[in-house]
Amino acid sequence: MSKTIVTCALTGAQQGKEANPALPEQPAEIIEQGIDAWRAGASILHIHARDASGKASSDVEVFREIVDGLREGGCDAVLNLTTGGAVAGLPLEERIKVVSELKPDVASFSVGGGSLLGRYDAKLDSWQGDRFVPLFSSHAELERVAGIFRDNGVRPELEVYHSGMLNNIAALHERGVFEEPLLVNIVMGIPGETSRATVKNLLYMVEGLPSGSQWLVSAIGARNHFRMLGAVVAMGGHVRVGLEDNVYLSRGQLAACNAELVEKAVRVLRDLGSEPASTSETREILKLRAGENQ
């Protein structure tokens, strides 16, 4: 039976409890929900940190508290710490400190110049969430950060928001800066300069990846979250769910916790003839070497 890696993105850097009171913000909440999501079948936990007021933070000590709490709770999931948070205005040099100081198994790495986000609301006759999110200013800067990942033994999860970013992956791959297999997260469905969550777009993106890449899809929003899952599994990809990406379990029903979203994903996987990969199977699929925070 095929094995599918399930990632759970626990909290994110944008919406908070105003979107869903169950969204975890403080370390104790993130730890508790992370352990429950792991027990429900998620073998990778994608982790953001928040400050005491619930805003996105790049504070390494908050990340360390979360990592230590998960390990002390018996959770052996692959931990994927974010270097994102650009959407929240966190500076790059602060965001990448988790790579060198904590050396997680995996950390996210957005491989592009930036994205213009936002949508036009006809009822309000105005643009909503209209802003540019800067990521990297040059290919040389992308390569520099890729080197920080490599030097610290951290596997980058390459975040791709539109097809132009595939060119950046190809250029860096040719430079030999990534360990194999590449791990690519195709993010779809965010309003603005990102790929729409369609099977046709997904097929195009996957066909543009370097040979042998492992890939997953983050389908953002309630409309997209589970609708894309069948196509992803049929094409041999991996899945991501979690309150960072979607706060609803089903139409009009807020999720009670991250574990509920994982449980639903696992049910769908099994109905499609796949099984969630265990942590050890995930490490084997991604060829991860043991890090300091395993």
Whether residue 291 is predicted with pLDDT greater than 90 in this model: the reply is no
Cβ distance 125 to 176 under 8 Å? no
Q: What is the pTM of this model?
A: 0.96
Task: Report the DSSP beta bridge partners of residue 116.
Answer: 132
- The contacts of residue 125 (CB under 8 Å, 6+ apart) are none
Among residues 242, 203, 235, the alpha carbon closest in space to that of 219 is found at 242
User: What are the DSSP E strand ranges found in 10-124?
Assistant: 44-47, 49-50, 56-57, 78-81, 106-110, 114-121
Q: If DSSP codes are grouped into helix, strand and coil, which group holds residue 145?
A: helix
User: Residue 260 has what pLDDT?
Assistant: 98
pLDDT at 289 over 80: no
pLDDT tens-digit map of 205-214: 999 999 999 9
| pLDDT at position 88 over 90 | no
- pLDDT of 87 reads 87
Confidence of residue 86 (pLDDT cuts 50, 70, 90): confident
Domain residue ranges in the chain: 2-286
Residues 31-41 have pLDDT tens digits of 999 999 999 99
- CA 40 – CA 60 distance, rounded (Å): 27
Q: What average pLDDT does range 224-229 have in this prediction?
A: 95
CATH number for the region 2-286 comes to 3.20.20.70
pLDDT digits 0-9 by tens, 166-177: 999 999 999 999
pLDDT tens column, 236-266: 999 999 999 999 999 999 999 999 999 999 9
Percent of the chain with pLDDT over 90: 96
Q: Residues of the chain with pLDDT > 70: what percent?
A: 98
